[in-house]
Structure 1
Amino acid sequence: MPPHSPRPADTLDDDDYPAYTMGRAADMLGTTAAFLRALGENRLITPLRSDGGHRRYSRYQLRIAARARELVDRGTKIEDACRIVILEDQLEEAQRINAEYRRAAESGNPQAAASR
């Protein structure tokens, strides 16, 4: 194994490791490869590529795709579902940052959060 490659044991718990082929990802989500390609076209997820050029998906990407599928299954157009999921993700990140600032301010060290 080349020195820059992660060891297999290191990748088991890595949500960002692109472990799943397109076919496997589609099976796990109960959807099609075309649906996954559409998510990529709408810039919701960007799968990494294997050395052979095949799309590979991480667990994190599959969670995002599953949320988009929930919305599409309820009648939301795929383009709109992708936008909703992106906005939900941005909101979650903003809330996380606000919570960090709040904790830092409550601890009397607002500079700790400001340095982020």
Structure 2
Amino acid sequence: MTADDAYGRLDDDDYPAYTMGRAAELLGTTQGFLRAIGEARLITPLRSPGGHRRYSRYQLRIAARARALVDQGTPIEAACRIVILEDQLEEARRINDEYRRAAESANPPTAA
């Protein structure tokens, strides 16, 4: 990988650029929290060639949402489930909107 390739990946939200320690530091939490949300299958960190967990910016945003719920008193397992359900709802709404737009363009309203 060239330096230009590595630099270009810094803008990639899915590139696993953060070690577990750095991810925990950025989130203001513990490595145990990151392990727990991994066990709850909220996020699945990639592994470095040495087997260490690596996190992307996208995964850190998801973890931050779970952390906010936990900070409000929600158990970790419930917080993870809430985040998953919120994302599923958002995706279902997006798909519904696409279907609605497609139906409207296929059957434009007629003038009365």
Q: Do structure 1's residue 79 and structure 2's residue 77 form an aligned pair? A: yes
Per the TM alignment, residue 99 of structure 1 is displaced from its structure 2 partner at its CA by 1.2
Q: Match for residue 64 of structure 1?
A: 62
Q: Do structure 1's residue 51 and structure 2's residue 65 form an aligned pair? A: no
Q: Match for residue 114 of structure 1?
A: none
Count of matched residue positions in the alignment of Structure 1 and Structure 2 = 106
TM-score by length of 1: 0.85
Per the TM alignment, residue 9 of structure 1 is displaced from its structure 2 partner at its CA by 3.4
TM-score by length of 2: 0.88
Instruction: Report the Cα distance in structure 1 between the residues aligned to 2:39 and 2:15, rounded to whole angstroms.
Output: 21
Q: Which amino acid aligns with 1:36?
A: L
Question: Percent sequence identity over matched residues?
Answer: 80
Unpaired stretches in structure 1, ≥5 consecutive residues: 110-116
- The SS at the match of 2:15 is coil
Instruction: Report the Cα distance in structure 1 between the residues aligned to 2:103 and 2:10, rounded to whole angstroms.
Output: 37
Q: Match for residue 12 of structure 2?
A: 14
Q: Do structure 1's residue 41 and structure 2's residue 75 form an aligned pair? A: no
Task: State the superposition RMSD in angstroms.
Answer: 1.6
Larger Rg: 2
